[in-house]
Amino acid sequence: MVGAMLTRWHYIALGAPLLLLILEWRKLRTTVIVVVFMAVLLAAMEAVIDIRLHALRGSMDRRLFGMLHGVSSVLLLAQVIAAAVAVGAIERETADGGRQTAGEPRL
């Protein structure tokens, strides 16, 4: 059951940020593009580790399994934080009327 969920999760974790990256590329929101690109990289690393975890599930190497599971969890948390930063950047730029204000202090 967990393996089936992980397979589908990788498509969502990689597909959603890629779609957002394409949409934001057209609007040239530099901050959002950088953060979403980082989220895509995090999702790709997480997918690789989760595939390795799935292969290790039946093995006796519990230490490696636990370490990789911890790294995978940290990557997932980092991806969620990146998503929150991207949403915050989009909201700030929308509140500014859609213009980018590089270096201007916000009140």
Task: Write out pLDDT tens, residues 8-65.
Answer: 666 777 777 778 777 777 776 777 788 888 888 888 888 888 888 878 877 777 888 8
Domain assignment present for 75: yes
Can you give the pLDDT at residue 56? Answer: 80
Q: What's the structural domain count of the chain? A: 1
Domain assignment present for 102: no
Domain assignment present for 91: yes
Domain limits for position 51: 2-95
CA 44 – CA 48 distance, rounded (Å) = 6
- pTM, two decimals, is 0.65
Domain assignment present for 14: yes
Angle of helix 30-56 versus helix 62-95 axis, rounded to 10? 160
Domain assignment present for 31: yes
Can you give the pLDDT at residue 18? Answer: 78
In terms of pLDDT, which residue wins out, 11 or 75?
75
